[in-house]
Amino acid sequence: MKQLIVIGNGFDIHCGLKSSYSDFFVDRFETLFCTDKENTKQIEELEDDLDGRRRKILSFISKIRGQLNFSSNDNNDCDYFKRYKKKFFSEKRDITRWDLFFLFADACVDKSVNNYEWQDVESLIFDVISIALNANGAYKMNYAENVSIGPREDKGIKLFSKLVYDLSFTGRDTTEEITAELLKELKKFENIFAEYITNQIDLNQTNSGYIDNAIMLYKHISKYNLSNSNFKSDKVDVLSFNYSLDDRFKDILDKETDDNRLETWSNIHGIAHGEKTPYYPAPIFGIDSHGIISQNGKLDLRVSFTKAYRVIENEINEIRSSSGYAGEDLITIYGHSLGVADYSYFEAIFDENNLYYSDCKIEYYYYPGKNNQEKLIKRQEAITRLYNLLTNYGNSLSETHGDNIVNKLNLENRLRVIPSE
């Protein structure tokens, strides 16, 4: 059997890594804005400090703006972020513009940070650059109807947009310069996240903790079975959307187990690394390219933030040993939210395997919840995510019957949605 395993952040969380959106941002916000707190567990514990910080930022911008005098024909302004950073932060605590965008999103977006998934970060990045570059189109996040920050009260999207305009402005009213600055700041933010992940991982710790859990979970979802006479001839590839484990995991498996079926391990969005592995491309946060097109010969500068563009720019393909995933008997998806931003990757995999006409099977593992009501909801959500992915893929097929792909896979018993115990 030839198996492709696609893993998302749920794999790392299951293995004990604190890699969720809320885990990272609680740590980040605590470090930047709440110096008197340590080891906070929930974002709610920081809300008073964060709200106070947001009020101070708005007050600071208002004060600076009041001190600037321009003629009526002057289209310049100042870089409010750089002035704020210079006044309130040392070089050792390298705050980025994106830290402040996420800080204000915590107040303006109509969704609790504790319920965010990483696809929400990608959606927020899309909204920020769309606002900053005056790009047309609908926003991806839902914003609160009314938001109050100090004396300011407004609709969530309006207040957030104003804040993004101010904190993305570089002092010159050129979209090219704003694009370059936001991309440079995003790379800094990505390196901060890489360090956060790296500090939690010790590849030499194979008898307990994260690595040991990863070995056991991998063996489970890869159908580890020495009693099967055909087991040794099986081949496994892993496509990881995470930034944690990398192709060195193959060596760990060879050393710690008798499982040598793993052919390739590829990190499609880069790898979190420390000083000992500087040759690995850093993680990227990117947006989906759907809906971003150049019109009338004019380039849409948001292209620079798409995942496909960032993968090329960061030379991530240089470290990937796989050249594709054709001819798979089984595609296993574990701990992945199947967000729209990643549809393009799955479409490519399904195309490579001629999914409609082949015998390739798909199994999707999901977190089942703790009680009966949650189990019912989680299963409905998981089936809906897989259904939407496959239906979207079917619509991309040239065949008129592509919209029946889910029915076809069901009839041929090629779909399974599995609770991960």
Domain ranges across the chain: 2-16+204-268+320-419, 21-67+74-198
Mapped onto helix, strand or coil, the DSSP state of residue 68 is: coil
What whole-number distance in Å separates Cα of residue 170 and Cα of residue 251?
Answer: 47
Residues 6+ apart with CB under 8 A from 138: none
DSSP string, 159-186: HHHHHHHHHH--SS--HHHHHHHHHHHH
What whole-number distance in Å separates Cα of residue 223 and Cα of residue 329?
Answer: 13
Q: Hunting for tokens 């109050």 — which residue is that?
A: 148
Q: What is the pLDDT of residue 58?
A: 93
Instruction: Cite the beta strand spans of 72-196 per DSSP E.
Output: 147-149, 152-154
What whole-number distance in Å separates Cα of residue 276 and Cα of residue 271?
Answer: 13
What whole-number distance in Å separates Cα of residue 100 and Cα of residue 50?
Answer: 10
What stretch of H or E contains 3? Answer: strand 2-7
What whole-number distance in Å separates Cα of residue 66 and Cα of residue 71?
Answer: 14
pLDDT per residue of the chain (421 residues) written in tens, 0 to 9: 999 999 999 999 999 999 988 889 889 999 898 867 677 777 888 888 999 999 999 999 988 887 776 554 554 568 899 999 988 887 767 899 999 999 999 999 987 766 777 778 888 999 999 999 988 778 889 999 999 998 889 999 999 999 999 999 887 768 899 999 999 999 999 989 989 998 898 887 777 789 999 999 999 999 887 667 677 778 999 999 999 998 889 888 888 888 889 999 998 888 887 655 556 677 889 888 776 765 555 678 899 999 888 888 877 766 666 668 999 999 999 999 998 888 989 999 999 999 999 999 999 999 998 899 999 999 999 999 999 999 999 988 876 667 789 999 999 999 999 999 7
Distance in angstroms between the alpha carbons of the first and the last residue of the chain:
24
Q: Are 387 and 379 in contact (CB under 8 A)?
A: no
Q: Hunting for tokens 């947001």 — which residue is that?
A: 54
Q: Are 114 and 203 in contact (CB under 8 A)?
A: no
Cα–Cα–Cα angle for 256, 270, 275, nearest 5°?
Answer: 75
What does DSSP say about strands 361-366 and 415-419: parallel, antiparallel, or unpaired?
Answer: parallel
Q: Are 103 and 124 in contact (CB under 8 A)?
A: no
Residues 6+ apart with CB under 8 A from 254: 260
Burial (0-12, 13-18, 19+ Cβ within 10 Å), 364? buried
Cα–Cα–Cα angle for 274, 280, 281, nearest 5°?
Answer: 110
Question: Backbone phi, then psi, for 25, in 5-degree steps?
Answer: -75, -30
Assigned fold of 2-16+204-268+320-419? Rossmann fold (3.40.50)
CA-based nearest residue to 78, from 180, 172, 196:
172
CA-based nearest residue to 57, from 150, 190, 195:
150
Mapped onto helix, strand or coil, the DSSP state of residue 351 is: helix
Mapped onto helix, strand or coil, the DSSP state of residue 118 is: helix
- For the sheet with 262-267, list strands across it: 262-267, 235-240, 2-7, 330-334, 361-366, 415-419
In Å, how far from its chain's centre is CA 373?
Answer: 28
360 CB-side CA count, 13 A: 23
